[in-house]
């Protein structure tokens, strides 16, 4: 029997994650992650969990402990209040602006990385410098990943060593 078929008073637990059947959104970590342009794989690595757990935690109805929300807040680099949902409360303008600037920065860095034409690389480098002037924390942003980019050997080793918990595995196959 899946977790979703439980009554509203019953709650399933997966790795400190309670999944109530209520339809009320509790957080918006998935929305903010997508706006920030961060992959689930990157979040999983930074939270030291597997991608399946990240996917479960991103469900708006997943009842996570506050300590886990603070971990997400650190990974996403946004105020904790932006992860919590209040009825009809849109994301703050600074968070949306930062997400837009992160996407532009990733695009400019990718242009530098893949362009074979020196003028285009110089123009993209100028754009990167201007973006860092506007928002200094963009300094550490990485370019968009190329489709089919190969993993490093140590990443493959980490993936092979991770084990799916039985609960997560059962949830995936149901």
For the chain, domain boundaries: 1-91, 92-146
Tens of pLDDT along 38-96? 889 999 999 999 999 999 999 888 888 889 999 998 888 888 878 887 645 666 677 77
Go through 81-106 and write b for each residue having 16 or more CB atoms within 10 A of its CB, e for each that does not.
ebbbeeeeeeeeeebeebbebbebbb
The pLDDT value given to residue 9 = 34
Does the pLDDT value for residue 102 go beyond 60?
yes
Report, as an integer, the average pLDDT of 165-174.
57
Does the pLDDT value for residue 10 go beyond 50?
no
Report, as an integer, the average pLDDT of 137-156.
65
Report, as an integer, the average pLDDT of 149-167.
52
Tens of pLDDT along 17-26? 555 545 778 8
The pLDDT value given to residue 76 = 87
**Superfamily (CATH H level) for 1-91:** lambda repressor-like DNA-binding domains (1.10.260.40)
The pLDDT value given to residue 41 = 92
Q: Band of the pLDDT at 4, cuts 50, 70, 90?
A: very low
Q: Of 40-54, 126-140, 141-155, which range is least confident?
A: 141-155
């Amino acid at each position: 029997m899946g977790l979703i078929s439980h009554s509203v008073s019953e709650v399933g637990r997966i790795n400190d994650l309670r999944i109530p059947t209520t339809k009320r959104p509790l957080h918006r970590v998935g929305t903010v992650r997508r706006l920030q342009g961060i992959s689930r794989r990157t979040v999983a690595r930074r939270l030291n969990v597997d991608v399946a757990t990240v996917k479960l935690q991103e469900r708006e109805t997943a009842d996570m402990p506050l300590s886990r929300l603070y971990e997400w807040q650190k990974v996403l680099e946004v105020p904790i209040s932006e992860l919590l949902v209040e009825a009809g409360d849109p994301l703050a303008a600074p968070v949306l602006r930062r997400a837009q600037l992160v996407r532009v920065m990733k695009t400019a860095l990718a242009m530098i990385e893949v362009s074979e034409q020196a003028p285009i690389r110089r123009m993209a480098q100028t754009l990167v410098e201007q973006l860092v002037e506007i928002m200094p924390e963009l300094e550490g942003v990485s370019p968009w990943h190329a489709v089919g980019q190969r993993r490093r050997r140590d990443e493959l080793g980490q993936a092979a060593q991770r084990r799916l918990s039985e609960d997560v595995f059962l949830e995936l196959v149901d």
